[in-house]
Amino acid sequence: MALKAVIFDLGGTLVSYPNPDKVSKHFYEKAAEIADEGMPKMDYQTLLKKLSEKYLEARQVSFQNLKEATFAESLKAALKELGVEMASNDQEYLLEILYGEFFGDQSKLIEGAEEILSAFRKARLQIGLISNTPWPGVAHWGDMYYWGIMDYFHKGYFSSYEGIRKPHPELFRKVLREMKLTPDEAIYVGDNFSRDVVGPNSIGMKAIWISTKSVPEGQTLNGWQVASLMEVKALVETLTKEEK
């Protein structure tokens, strides 16, 4: 069946982001700055250390049950354990500060991202997005707006909103269902084998794995492997020509 859509991973594929596991350990270093942001007076160093602790605990569980661990839920858990109250709007603002400081401001558009999205739109392919993230999806949309790639996407799905994370097959099924596609009408593109290949392959969707590593022992790749994002463009163009 003809290829109708290309669905992308975000972090590591289109936009380069820091590792949330690593940066969360440094949240407490910004305690004094956060206190000066008009936030309620409290011991932010202790709170941010507890936030990191709760997130990393939940993160390990998420690898097993594929339910996303978010900073929003981890902050609630940290506040509860410390016996501290914080209004919901202040919680949102705190996370916004942390995201900008440690994540969004450190993001970089990967070379070729805008070019490949533009080419696929000109080819009349639907463009989708499925991203694992502990942050609110709106923050990532803000990054994509900043980098000038937001309007290329027909649909975008973030694990922090969906409640489940790649490689959960239901996440891929939902995206195909809402984009009105069958598995053989779409290709998924990503850089992480366990999430971006295993996930789509589990429902019969082929994947393009961006990596120079070997396929993990005991695993199979239903799709293609390329070394860079720009190679994805050439591969998809070849596939669409072969279908004509």
- Predicted local confidence at residue 1, as pLDDT: 63
Do residue 116 and residue 214 come from a single domain? yes
Amino acid 36: pLDDT: 82
Quote the pTM value. 0.94
Output the pLDDT for position 244.
58
Least confident of 28-42, 75-89, 155-169: 28-42
Average pLDDT of the segment spanning 96-100: 94
Q: Are residues 29 and 143 in the same domain?
A: no
Within 8 A by CB and 6+ apart from 176, the residues are 182, 183, 186, 203, 205
Nearest by Cα to 55 from 29, 90, 23, 84: 23
| CATH code: domain of residue 177 | 3.40.50.1000
pLDDT in tens, 108-163: 999 999 999 999 999 999 999 999 999 999 999 999 999 999 999 999 999 999 99
Domain end residue (candidates: 72, 106, 140): 106
Of 49, 78, 106, the domain-final residue: 106
> What residue numbers bound the domain in which 168 lies?
5-17+108-243
Assess whether 168 and 126 both reside in one domain: yes
Report how far residue 189's alpha carbon sits from residue 171's, in angstroms, rounded to the nearest whole number: 15
pLDDT digits (tens, 9 = 90+) for 66-84: 999 999 999 999 999 999 9
Name the domain boundary from 106, 122, 151. Answer: 106
Average pLDDT over residues 170-179: 97
> What confidence score (pLDDT) does residue 229 get?
95
- Transcribe 179-203 into DSSP letters: TT--GGGEEEEES-IIIIIHHHHTT
Number of domains into which the chain is organized: 2
- Please choose, from the candidates 96, 170, 103, 180, the residue with its C-alpha nearest in 3D space to the C-alpha of residue 130: 170
Name which of 11-20, 37-46, 70-79, 85-94 the model is least confident about.
Answer: 37-46
Cα angle at 152 between 118 and 133, to 5 degrees? 120
Q: What is the pLDDT of residue 165?
A: 98
On whether the CB atoms of residues 109 and 147 are closer than 8 A, the answer is: yes
User: Does 145 lie in the same domain as 100?
Assistant: no
Domain co-membership, 25 together with 130 = no
pLDDT in tens, 182-236: 999 999 999 999 999 999 999 999 999 999 999 999 999 999 999 999 999 999 9
The pLDDT score that the predictor gives to residue 41 is 87
